[in-house]
């Protein structure tokens, strides 16, 4: 994802022809009943790829599952694995699951043919199960809820998780957001409301911005209270300083924003928590590229943050790169903010050519990041704000900072030798694919990076049906006692007595517009 952002690429394309009959629902003239004037979108590759056996599910049940559930299961798996947290260690603890989702596209596909609904249709297509499925598969007994506040859903879900963490109800939370585009009706509906960009671009804060571009994708974070993270010596990518939500109240129309309500939210968060506006490195805005929404957002940012700064506050929007992932968009913005702080580099916000004439950027002390910015480190942790607004008036904002500094001991004492390289999977083909991925990574890594990857490969990981082991020599041909051939590569694998998925590990893991599915084995389930 960061490579895409750094290169300033826009991944928006159009809805693939295999989703539905595009010609049936498209018309170039705005306002044509039953038609949309745009099918521009950010889309996922291989949306339906999924291996149900990995999660202990039957193929019949998986066939009825909303792709949103499939995407989130894979992301949660990878998030936990990246965080090096075994799910077996979470059993019996109050681990909460908070997901932002609103799409019912997959269920709407069956409305046209009620006879197609089977015994797993309801559990496969209701929004509540989007979060509950994660709790069920990984055996998590804490709160489990799906939040739908439209475009602010995922940040509102994060705020709910933060409240539970701060209250001591839980000390670990899985927070995510997901969106898919599987039915033409929402395109038609948003087109009738003139919300979609006619040119197929999100021109955030630009004078030619005339609507947004729909997109699909998923994001998952694993959050832990700082005291628990220190105790477990968890790696951290960022620290959440504050979060908050409010509502626009009564406006001239339910889909019209209230700049005063947005400013009140920012004021409650920044002034209420004693946050110095000069520490804010940038704000990742909602920035859909609409005539009404952009001016309201920039006014609130400038009034509360810009007015209290010496230098203009940089703002931008990841929607200019990948489109608007709707309920997941807030966490995509947060992902961009974390990557920017981690890499000391704020990518440019694309398609900003002419400043919006209804926004007084200079007077509000706000500047759009039309060009990338190097983020310099100082004595104090840098902060970043993330905005997300729902079209029903639900506003959310989160402030993050750099993580706590890594101790000098960890920096000066990298993983020592003697670790065993371990790779495991449920099938020979998926093991072979995993080993090829490792081989590619090792070929482009330094010796120190290879030692770290070898050490991480076997740490807190569940051993699956097939595995290979090698003592600190990942580039050698792998052999074990079984000496059974694996595929056509000459690799050898060892059978393990445990084939049921029992746990994966991770702090948080994020995937972007082009979601890579099924590193642990792919099977296309329609």
Write out pLDDT tens, residues 180-239: 999 999 999 999 999 999 999 999 999 999 999 999 999 999 999 988 888 888 889 999
pLDDT for residue 470 is more than 80: no
Mean pLDDT for the stretch of residues 294-319: 97
3-state secondary structure of 216: coil
- For residue 381, pLDDT over 50 is answered with yes
Interstrand relation of 345-346 and 373-374 (parallel, antiparallel or unpaired): antiparallel
Question: 44: number of CA atoms within 13 Å, CB side?
Answer: 23
Residue 475 pLDDT: 43
pLDDT of the residue at 471: 56
For residue 103 the two structure tokens come to 């799409």
pLDDT in tens, 23-45: 999 999 999 999 999 999 999 99
Q: Look at the block and give the residue holding tokens 């005063």.
A: 260
Note every long-range contact of 400-405, with CB atoms under 8 Å and residues 24 or more positions apart, other chains counting.
400/238, 400/239, 400/240, 400/241, 400/334, 400/337, 400/338, 400/341, 401/238, 401/239, 401/241, 401/341, 402/238, 402/239, 402/341, 402/377, 403/236, 403/237, 403/238, 403/239, 404/226, 404/236, 404/239
Per-residue confidence (pLDDT) for residue 463, from 0 to 100: 59
3-state helix, strand, coil in the chain (%, to 5): 35, 20, 45
- Distance between CA atoms of 205 and 354, rounded to whole angstroms? 9
The arithmetic mean of pLDDT across residues 509-521, rounded, is: 29
Q: Is 421 within 8 Å of 317 (Cβ atoms)?
A: no
Range 297-325 average pLDDT: 97
Phi/psi zone of residue 111: left (φ > 0), alpha (ψ -120 to 50 degrees), beta? alpha
Burial string for 215-227 (b: 16+ CB within 10 Å, else e) reads bbbbbbbbbbbee
Handedness of CA 123, 124, 127, 131 (dihedral sign): positive
Give the C-alpha separation, 308 to 180, whole Å: 40
Query: Does residue 362 register a pLDDT over 90?
Result: yes
What pLDDT score was predicted for residue 497?
35
Question: Are the C-beta atoms of residues 220 and 334 closer than 8 Å to each other?
Answer: no
What pLDDT does residue 468 have? 65
Average pLDDT, integer, range 434-443: 91
DSSP letters spanning 111-134: HT-GGG--TTHHHHH-HHHHHHHH
What confidence category does residue 415 fall into, taking pLDDT thresholds of 50, 70 and 90?
Answer: low
Lowest model confidence (mean pLDDT) among 97-111, 158-172, 407-421: 407-421
Q: Please, are residues 36 and 25 in contact by the beta-carbon 8 Å criterion?
A: yes
Integer angstrom CA distances of residue 101 from 179, 289, 449: 6, 22, 37
Q: In Å, how far from its chain's centre is CA 20?
A: 26
Task: Give the model's pLDDT for residue 461.
Answer: 65
pLDDT band at 453 (very low <50, low <70, confident <90, very high): confident
From CA 264, how far away is CA 365, in angstroms rounded?
A: 18
422 or 137, which is more confident? 137
- Residue numbers annotated as active site: 151, 286, 324
Q: Is the pLDDT of residue 506 over 60?
A: no
Q: What tens digit of pLDDT does each residue of 117-159 get? A: 889 999 999 999 999 999 999 999 999 999 999 999 999 999 9
DSSP string, 445-488: S-HHHHHHHHHHHTTT----SEEEEEES-TTSPP--TT-EEETT
Residue 378 has pLDDT above 70, yes or no: yes
In the predicted structure, residue 88 carries a pLDDT above the cut 70: yes
Q: Which residue has the higher pLDDT, 88 or 2?
A: 2
**What span, in angstroms and rounded, lies between the C-alpha atoms of 188 and 128?**
25
pLDDT at 520 over 90: no
Q: Which of 512, 524, 508, 516 is nearest to 179 (CA)?
A: 512
Q: What is the pLDDT of residue 526?
A: 37
The more confident residue out of 476 and 266 is: 266
> Are the C-beta atoms of 69 and 120 separated by less than 8 Å?
no
Q: What is the pLDDT of residue 495?
A: 40
| pTM flag (> 0.85) | yes
Answer yes or no: is pLDDT of 112 > 60. Answer: yes
Contacts of residue 457, Cβ cutoff 8 Å, sequence gap at least 6: 419, 421, 422, 423, 438
Q: What percent of the chain has pLDDT over 70?
A: 85
Give the integer Cα–Cα distance in Å for 413 and 393.
50
Flag whether pLDDT at 487 surpasses 60: no
For the chain, the average pLDDT equals: 86
The residues pairing with 466 across neighbouring beta strands, listed in sequence order, are 425, 495
Average pLDDT for residues 288-311, to the nearest whole number? 96
pLDDT of residue 417: 53
Name the pLDDT band for 115 (thresholds 50, 70, 90).
Answer: confident
Total count of residues recorded for the chain: 526
Residue 46: which pLDDT band, with cuts at 50, 70 and 90?
confident
Q: What is the per-residue pLDDT for 82?
A: 87
Residue predicted with more confidence, 496 or 83: 83
Q: Tokens for 158?
A: 């994060």
CB atoms within 10 A of CB 481: 9
Rounded mean pLDDT, 316-333 = 98
What is the CA 202 to chain-centroid distance, rounded? 19
Amino acid 489: pLDDT: 38
């Amino acid at each position: 994802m960061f490579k895409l952002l750094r290169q300033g690429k826009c991944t928006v394309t159009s809805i693939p022809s295999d989703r539905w009959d595009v010609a049936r629902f498209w018309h170039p003239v705005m306002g044509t009943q039953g038609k949309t004037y745009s099918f521009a979108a950010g889309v996922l590759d291989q949306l339906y790829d999924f291996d149900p056996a990995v999660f202990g599910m039957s193929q019949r049940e998986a066939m009825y599952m909303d792709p949103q559930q499939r995407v989130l299961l894979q992301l949660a798996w990878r998030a936990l694995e990246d965080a090096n947290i075994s799910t077996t260690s979470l059993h019996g603890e109050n681990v909460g699951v908070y997901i932002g989702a609103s799409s019912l596209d997959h269920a709407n596909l069956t409305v046209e043919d009620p006879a197609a609904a089977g015994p797993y249709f309801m559990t496969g297509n209701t929004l509540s199960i989007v979060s509950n499925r994660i709790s069920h598969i990984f055996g998590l007994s804490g709160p489990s809820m799906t939040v739908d506040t439209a475009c602010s859903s995922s940040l509102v879900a994060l705020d709910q998780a933060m409240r539970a963490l701060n209250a001591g109800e839980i000390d670990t939370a899985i927070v995510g957001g997901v969106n898919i585009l599987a039915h033409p009706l929402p395109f038609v509906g948003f087109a009738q409301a003139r919300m979609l960009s006619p040119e197929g671009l999100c021109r955030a804060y630009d004078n030619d911005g005339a609507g947004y571009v729909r997109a699909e994708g998923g994001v998952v974070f694993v959050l832990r209270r700082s005291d628990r993270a220190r105790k477990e010596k968890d790696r951290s990518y960022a620290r959440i300083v504050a979060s908050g939500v409010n509502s626009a109240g009564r406006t001239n129309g339910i889909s019209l924003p209230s700049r005063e309500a947005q400013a009140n939210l920012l004021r409650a968060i920044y002034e209420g928590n004693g946050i110095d506006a000069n520490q804010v490195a940038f704000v990742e805005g909602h920035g859909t590229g609409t005539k009404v929404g952009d001016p309201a957002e920039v006014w609130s940012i400038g009034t509360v943050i810009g007015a209290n700064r010496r230098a203009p506050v940089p703002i931008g929007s990841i929607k200019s790169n990948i489109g608007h992932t709707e309920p997941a968009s807030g966490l995509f913005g947060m992902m961009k903010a974390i990557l920017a702080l981690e890499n000391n580099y704020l990518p440019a916000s694309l398609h900003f050519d002419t400043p919006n004439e209804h926004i007084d950027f200079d007077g509000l002390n706000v500047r759009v990041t039309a060009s990338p910015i190097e983020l310099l480190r100082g004595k104090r942790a840098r902060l970043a704000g993330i905005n997300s607004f729902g079209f029903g008036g639900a506003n959310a904002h989160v402030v993050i900072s750099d993580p706590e500094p890594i101790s000098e001991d960890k920096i000066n004492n990298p993983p020592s030798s003697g670790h065993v390289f371990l790779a495991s999977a449920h099938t020979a083909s998926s093991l072979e694919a995993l080993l090829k991925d490792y081989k590619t990574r090792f070929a482009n890594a330094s010796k120190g990076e290879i030692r770290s990857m070898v050490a991480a490969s076997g740490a807190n990981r569940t051993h699956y049906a097939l595995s290979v082991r090698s003592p600190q020599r990942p580039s050698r041909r792998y052999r074990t006692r079984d000496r059974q051939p694996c595929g056509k590569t000459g690799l050898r694998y060892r059978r393990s007595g445990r084939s049921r998925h029992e746990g994966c590990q991770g702090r948080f893991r994020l995937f972007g517009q082009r979601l890579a599915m099924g590193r642990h084995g792919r099977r296309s389930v329609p």
